[in-house]
Amino acid sequence: MAALYKKEILGFLSTITGWVVIGIFLTVTGLFLWVFPSGVNVLDNGYANLYGLFSLAPFVFLFLVPAVTMNSLAEEKRTGTLELLLIRPLNDTRIVLAKYFAAFTLVVLALLPTLVYYFSVYHLGFPVGDIDSGGFWGSFIGLLFLGAAFTAIGIFSSSLTNNPIVSFLVAVVLSAFIYMGFDFLSPFFGEEAFFVQSFGISAHYASMSRGVIDSRDVIYFLSLISFFLFLSVSFLGRRKWK
């Protein structure tokens, strides 16, 4: 599994794919936070916070994470190289986990440079250090969990098909629905609206963004990730019965 994980990481970083994903994420967030006049521009708002980053990043991830995961299993199945992996002492679970952790590592690599934004705003504040550090780190951890969840959904989508484009589209739609679909549906459930919202990623991500890491939010994300990885292994195993 470690060998496959290493192969996947090197595959991302030795080609243009990985660097394009990291570059696009940092460029888009950087332009909106520091250059373009918008509601999330740090300098225009005049407040020492990075709430704009954490409201913008999920929507960038909606497209970038599926772009990272779309080839993970779909391309292997299309080219027939997936069967070659089975010659090695790897079962379906290890294949899925190796590809999942490799894709998530790329997401983490895209996020780490945003720590520069934190230290920039930290020193721009008046007085220096006048920033809600608890809110920032809570949001940052929440964004890591969100990226991990989107990655699991992307791997699942890639397990459904041998067409990377179809995998990308399924991952985008599914991620978007689980992120904010329940928020749109909740008003139709009256008194149960809050309960319905709790099924969506947005509610738990917003909770973490307050700077408090609630065990219920952590359990939600871990359960969601485990669920989609389990489905990925199950759908991948179906090829044995065809």
Instruction: Express each pLDDT in 26-65 by its tens digit.
Output: 888 888 877 777 776 776 666 666 777 888 889 999 999 9
Supply the pLDDT for residue 83. 62
Could you read off the pLDDT of 103-134 as tens digits, one per residue?
Answer: 999 999 989 988 888 888 777 766 766 677 77
Q: Looking at the predicted structure, is the pLDDT value of residue 80 above 80?
A: no
Tell me how far CA of residue 188 lies from CA of 172, 185, 193, 199, 216, in angstroms.
24, 6, 7, 15, 25
**What is the amino acid identity at position 168?**
F
Q: How many structural domains does the chain have?
A: 1
Residue 101's domain comprises: 2-241
Give the span between the Cα atoms of 85 and 76, in whole angstroms.
9
Query: What is the reported pTM?
Result: 0.89
Give the span between the Cα atoms of 128 and 118, in whole angstroms.
12
* Neighbour-count burial for 174-191, b at 16+ CB within 10 Å, e otherwise: bbbebbbbbbeebeeeee
Q: What is the mean pLDDT of residues 144-149?
A: 95
CB 88 within 8 A of CB 95: no
* pLDDT band, residue 242 (cuts 50/70/90): very low
Q: Looking at the predicted structure, is the pLDDT value of residue 171 above 90?
A: yes
Taking every pair of C-alpha atoms in the chain, what is the biggest distance, in angstroms?
66
Give the span between the Cα atoms of 80 and 162, in whole angstroms.
10
Q: What are the backbone angles phi and psi of residue 207, rounded to the nearest 5°?
A: -60, -45
Give me the chain's average pLDDT, please.
83
Could you read off the pLDDT of 190-212 as tens digits, one per residue?
Answer: 788 888 888 999 989 988 887 77
